[in-house]
Copies of this chain bind each other. A is one copy, B any other.
Amino acid sequence: MNQGFLAERLGRYLRLVESERDALGELGEAERLVPRGTVLRAEQASARELYVVERGWLYSSILLPDGNRQILSIHLPCEFAGDAGMPWDKAPFTLIAATDAMVRIIDKAALRALFERHPRLGLLLYTLAQAERVALADRLASVGRTSAKARVAALICDISSRLRAGGEDVTHGIPLPLTQEEIGDATGLTAVHVNRMMRQLAEEGLIARTHGRVHILDETRLAGVANHIDRFATIDTSWLPTG
């Protein structure tokens, strides 16, 4: 699996042929280790590359002039990071490592070559970009129109189902290596209120917490209060060309 993080991710959605696997394997130029808390790429920094998370978690965020921060999305292993910056030569967001992490660096030019030589993979990447857009839209609905408790629940549900989609065993709790401050920045709340909502979810028997991990006790009810829809579970690639 050494050269295969990208192929593994894309292979979840499409049966890849040999030449496609090879092309994906050659895509990444270099790896980079990013210790927890480090800025991998700052807003407005030059952005000629994108990343694939190989280990650890990253997140992208925007800093507002008044010092407020919004975390836009969390990037789990095997997912892209920084790909939303493609349309610009300066990064629109800041990328930070939530845990010690390892990323593989992919150059824009390499992505261009991939689209030209493997249009089918291009179409798949397009499709996945649209799926990310929908994920962001779901978060917008959560932040714009639901209560604090629902937002925190939604974050937990989202991470859980993405970890599960990534093949991780979720039955014995999931890691949640984010400070309550970070959870607040992701959900549009203060750290103080995040704390209260987590406690409330625990008191209601929906989750249990143990230093850095969360155990989902009642998945159905939690998804209910969160208004969660697991969209990534049902991605339809049947209309893509066959390899």
Docked Cα-Cα span, A115 to B127, in Å, equals 12
Select from chain B the residue with minimum beta-carbon distance to A61.
Answer: B141
Contact A130 B72 (CB under 8 A): no
Number of A residues contacting the other chain (C-beta, 8 Å)? 61
Contact A116 B241 (CB under 8 A): yes
Give how many copies assemble into the complex. 2
Q: Given the interface contacts A140-B139, A240-B112, does A84 sit within 8 Å of B134 by beta carbon? A: yes
Docked Cα-Cα span, A41 to B166, in Å, equals 31
Taking a contact as CB atoms closer than 8 A, the residue among B68, B92, B235 that contacts A88 in the complex is: B235
Chain A 85-115, CB-CB to B under 8 Å as 1, else 0, gives 1111100110000000000000011011001
Q: Given the interface contacts A87-B131, A87-B236, A88-B234, does A65 sit within 8 Å of B227 by beta carbon? A: yes
A–B complex contacts, Cβ < 8 Å, 7 sampled: A62-B138, A83-B130, A88-B231, A116-B120, A126-B126, A136-B136, A140-B143
